Structure 1
Amino acid sequence: MKLFRGWTVVAAAHGLLALAFGAAYSFGAFFKSIQTQFDAGRFSVGSLFAVTALLYYCVGAIAGPLADRIGLRRVTGAGILLLATGFALASRATSLPQLFVVFGLFVGCGVGLIYVPAVVAVQRWFVRLRSRASGLASAGTGVGTFAAPLFAGWLLEQQSWQIAMQWFALAILLLGLPAVLSIVGQPAQLGLAPDGDPHGAQSGAQARGMELSQALRSGGFWWLFLAILLASVSLFAALVHIAPMAQGLGIDATSSQLLIALIGAGNVLGRPLLGSLGDRLGALRLLTGLSILLALLHLLWWQAHGWAALALFAVLFGAAHGGCIALFPAVAAHWFGTLRLGAILGILYISVGLAAVIGASASGWVFDRTGGYTLAILVSAALALLAAAALGLAARAHRFASSPSGTSK
């Protein structure tokens, strides 16, 4: 039986997300080196990542529509080039403000041009198996989060952080450009239909859905925006600060950086498994349960005082967050359709950029002021619980808007 071309698109999207987010999330491995190099506090260095993340999620708001207009490969190809350029220029930075400009601008724009277009492409190739396909594609983020910090840690044992960033730039180019050439925006471009059905069975599937203006007027949209924001805060707090937190507990640098990789390992397991489970249980129901689980896992993080406990937290936390990230676009595609999904997801993912600012910068600020992360962890747990509540309100608003008596059609 011939393999459905959509699974090749899933594989290409998986690879692009692995490179983009592996590069971005490897920042935690470079954290101490940058802090030492520029004699900076944790708030300042954490803010560098926060600014970068905010930029790539804001750029994502225009990347989806841009890919629809000028072509998916052109946009994701430009993203790969900018990402590699960002690491190459960052390796030459001589001050923290200069690093803010070259790393934040180029890496931020590079990831932003890759993320939303790749995710949207997968949603358009599948309907019945959308959660599974989304989970497999987005698992690339977990693979990158696992592999990139290990690669960075190994490089940092051999040479300076500047040389390590140059190796990152080369790897991004060599692995990213073939993936760009393998991705196709939607099945109609190849005369196919979603899920591999006979052409015509679902030929209008990718043409149905809300316009962006309709989605923005929907109450469910803004509650979903809030839920994504609240659930994502802890991800960035952990990715940026778990390694320096572990080193503060006396854990060596290599083992501390491994904790970032273990979050990625949990992602690798959580995204495809929980994505597939979402097809059976319902994406929204599973998302709500995972948000509550995230809040509970913070208690483990709070009480972890050694490497083993932090490692257990990292794997479970990565799996739960991976499931959330795999299911968010599936919920959006189900509620709003795929007609303008690139623009819709782009706006929704601005919430993740805001979460990065809160998680990365505010956690660093708390440490600089209190000498510990306890307050940041407990606040993050409370926000995850509020995310579950926001999902419930989003579902209620969507049901009302979809009902015959609803005011939004």
Structure 2
Amino acid sequence: DIRNVTVLIDKGGGRVLVLEENRVLDTFPLRNVHGGVKFSERGFYVPTRDGWVAYYDLWEGRLKAKVRACIYLRNIALAGDRLATSCVLPSSIVLFDRELRPLAKVELKGNPSAIYGLGEDGFVLAFRDIPLVGRMDVDGTLSYFEVDTPLEDFFIDPFREFIIGSSRKEKKLIVYELRTLRKVFEKDIDGLAHLFSAGFWYSGGSFYFATRHAGSTKVSLWKMYEWELLREIDTGGTGFFVRTSPQIPHLWIDNGDDSFLLLDKKTLNLSKLKIAEDHRVTHVEFSADGRLAYVSVKGKINGFYLYDPLTLRYKGMIRAEDPAGKYNYLLKRERFSPALLGEEVFMAKCWGCHHSTREAFGPSLEWIVTNRSRDYIESKLKGLLGGSMPKIPLSFREIRALISFMEAIKHEERFVERGEKYQ
């Protein structure tokens, strides 16, 4: 099942591991990995700090290409049939096709903080040192837009409507409309919000994100689209990441010690999971089905520790010299970000009448996505069509999330059927 493919980075060993659940499918050498793995339908791309990008084809089960984009690379992004690298040295964007054949080099006015893909609409980037946001087409045409302050860290919301950014100098969290770059919100915060590693979830009719603050003991919880700071939590330690998935009841927050802080997504109650005495846990990723949590643990016994994220029971370990990032095919594909929230909307609003695979009070979700068009489903969700089922009040973003979830199920079933390489 390609959805449960997870890529693990062993920095100390200079290798990349390809897993399906707890089974190592393959490994290949690659050093100085940095900036986040990106997945396509066929495989994944791994960047390194010193400017290399490697492409691994999952269907062929092999490392297929490796190319150097620059001397010092920040991160990579996918949009349309293009891959873009944001480079610090020299300050530029280098464009490739999906086979890593170079297409264009675009010089930049400043030091990029990151670049993100916008599907078929190209890319967006910001800068650490100048107050500009760039929009770039897939052919490399770049336009600049002024903003209030350099966005040293930022993300694009799951529905691709807003840029949420932070500034170390100004100590603010700022929100801009993505289409117009009109500022819609700003608030003073403690330090620099580490937005690249934020976690997203849905609960009680609203969408949320949580983020750590770089160099701070704070975690802040925000209500998206209403742009409200719900709470700041002083964790007593410094960490980097907030992670969750639709099947997981908690946010997992690393804290620079031997434990994870677990924040209940419904009640916001905080608990602690001790992983390994006298070790340091740094980063967690989950399998797409929510049955496994992969935890990077450093200390006397380094490795990727496996846990059941529901029972919190230890399930095993994969040894590594310096375990670092982990990236799941489904959870880390930006095109599925609305669908992941849509799964939580489905469980909250629809699951009582529509089981995922079996008929209940209404037809199963599997039957609906197979036999109904998008227009029909959207009209039904908006209450424009009659029927015996009770009408459920839904916001337009809840509807978008649900439709994305259904389309993801329909889309991914085709690729699961093709996953013969590792059967």
TM-score, normalisation: structure 1: 0.26
Greater RCO (CA < 8 Å, at least 6 residues apart): 1
Q: Which structure: larger Rg?
A: 2
- Bigger proportion of residues as helix: 1
- Bigger proportion of residues as strand: 2
